[in-house]
Copies of this chain bind each other. A is one copy, B any other.
Amino acid sequence: MSRRSDNQVTIRQVAKEAGVSTQTVSRVMNNIPEVLPETRQHVLDVVNRLGYRPNVFARGLKQNRSYTLGVVTSGIEYYGPSRTLVGVEQKSNELGYSLSLSLLHQPEPENIQRVLGSLISRQVDGILWTTQEIGANLSWLNGEKLSIPVVFLEASPRPGVASVNIDSRMGVRQAMQHLLENGYRRIGIVTGPLSWWAARERLQGWRETLADADLVVEERQIVEGDWSTGSGARGLKQLLEMYPEMEAVFVSNDQMALGVLQTCRQLGRQVPEDLAIVGYDDIPEAEYFWPPLTTVRQNLTELGGTAVEMLTKMISARWQIDATYSPGCVWLEPELIIRSSSVRSSATSNSRGGEPTQNP
């Protein structure tokens, strides 16, 4: 099959038109200094006139790099992943890299292989891996012996693997400490899907804080959700059945917290008088929930940007003789945002009536 409409301008046409060699055009395009200013200007004029765009394939073929980063992610309809992706895109753009996007819906080995194969075929210079970790999800890392650098976002840190994470255990600890300081003792949790590392970390933070405060931790205080609002709603109902004396609940993301708030309303439970609620993520809507939601804010664009910086450093290092940039694991710190869903002394709370408060 013959290709059509080849109106693409090549370096040769520019060279011919400008009366120089292709080499000189190449030097101009790559800002190599050894070109007479007048020659350079003349070439640039021709380039603009003809609308010449260097073919990245040809360059890539020769240089063995693509100036493209592979991004493997999932759940971009959720706040966290999409926000992170924005950070990734901005920083890559800034550093002159393009993005090749793959969504990994089912983290099964065959899918992983397919995605990786596609990225390698496309000669990406490095990979950003930011999708949930199911079981031995990372085994390909050992198996495939990747020849290009990879940075993981929000994955469990492992020796010899570059990753950037948010210290969500610390974030949860702040949130829990805040509840304890406000006099809450019987605190439940709605977790995310425990196949996600971030969900396990948040659960762990909850456990730790309670243990440190010498409070009992029982399984009936724990319910697993799936990040969705609906699962939060269902989760709270379950929790109230198993753990009726609960005074406060930590919900592992804000969308589920919305479901929890909704269920409280249905059940006639006042927040925070009957039940204090703390979420996680600080989605833009959280301050408009009723009552406004106490939550933990993560700087996700920074997360994405930092990962890109790490990755590009690793890529550059491979081009030096002494390639010894091995960044390890970077931790970012989240921040507790206190609103009225967790503060008992309630000038802010709804003044309208309701069932009498049932605090013990």
Partner-B contacts on A (CB < 8 A): 1, 3-8, 53-58, 60-61, 63-66, 68, 71, 76-77, 79, 82-83, 85-86, 89-90, 93, 98-103, 105, 117-118, 120-123, 147, 228-230, 233, 255, 258-259, 262, 265, 268, 284-285, 287-290, 318-319, 323, 350, 352-355
The answer to whether B61 and A61 touch across the interface, beta carbons within 8 angstroms, is yes
The answer to whether B89 and A55 touch across the interface, beta carbons within 8 angstroms, is no
The answer to whether B121 and A55 touch across the interface, beta carbons within 8 angstroms, is yes
A28 to chain B, nearest CB (A): 15
Beyond A86-B103, A90-B105, A100-B101, 9 additional pairs, beta carbon < 8 A: A7-B147, A57-B123, A71-B101, A98-B118, A101-B101, A229-B285, A258-B285, A262-B288, A262-B290
Which one of B57, B63, B121, B285 lies within 8 Å of A61 (CB-CB)? B57
The answer to whether A77 and B66 touch across the interface, beta carbons within 8 angstroms, is no
Which residues of chain B have C-beta atoms less than 8 A from A284's C-beta? 228-230, 255
In the bound assembly, the distance between CA atoms of A99 and B122 in angstroms comes to 11
The answer to whether A56 and B353 touch across the interface, beta carbons within 8 angstroms, is no
The answer to whether B230 and A121 touch across the interface, beta carbons within 8 angstroms, is no
In the bound assembly, the distance between CA atoms of A76 and B287 in angstroms comes to 20
Q: Give the residue name and chain of the B residue nearest to A232 (CB).
A: B288
In the bound assembly, the distance between CA atoms of A121 and B101 in angstroms comes to 18
In the bound assembly, the distance between CA atoms of A13 and B119 in angstroms comes to 21
Which residues of chain B have C-beta atoms less than 8 A from A122's C-beta? 56, 68, 98
The answer to whether A147 and B53 touch across the interface, beta carbons within 8 angstroms, is no
Which one of B1, B147, B285 lies within 8 Å of A319 (CB-CB)? B1
In the bound assembly, the distance between CA atoms of A268 and B352 in angstroms comes to 8
In the bound assembly, the distance between CA atoms of A355 and B351 in angstroms comes to 11
In the bound assembly, the distance between CA atoms of A147 and B52 in angstroms comes to 13
Which one of B82, B93, B99, B319 lies within 8 Å of A4 (CB-CB)? B319
The answer to whether A103 and B83 touch across the interface, beta carbons within 8 angstroms, is no
Which residues of chain B have C-beta atoms less than 8 A from A85's C-beta? 76
Which residues of chain B have C-beta atoms less than 8 A from A100's C-beta? 68, 98-101
Which one of B5, B55, B105, B228 lies within 8 Å of A123 (CB-CB)? B55
The answer to whether A8 and B147 touch across the interface, beta carbons within 8 angstroms, is yes
A45 to chain B, nearest CB (A): 17
The answer to whether A5 and B318 touch across the interface, beta carbons within 8 angstroms, is yes
A290-B288 contact, Cβ under 8 Å, with A7-B147, A350-B265: no
Could you list some 30 contacts between A and B, CB below 8 A?
A3-B64, A3-B319, A4-B319, A4-B323, A5-B147, A6-B64, A7-B147, A53-B117, A53-B121, A54-B121, A55-B61, A55-B121, A55-B123, A57-B60, A57-B66, A68-B100, A76-B82, A77-B83, A77-B86, A89-B102, A90-B105, A98-B122, A99-B100, A99-B101, A101-B101, A229-B285, A230-B288, A258-B288, A259-B288, A262-B290
A80 to chain B, nearest CB (A): 10
A115 to chain B, nearest CB (A): 9
Which residues of chain B have C-beta atoms less than 8 A from A82's C-beta? 76-77, 82
The answer to whether A353 and B350 touch across the interface, beta carbons within 8 angstroms, is no
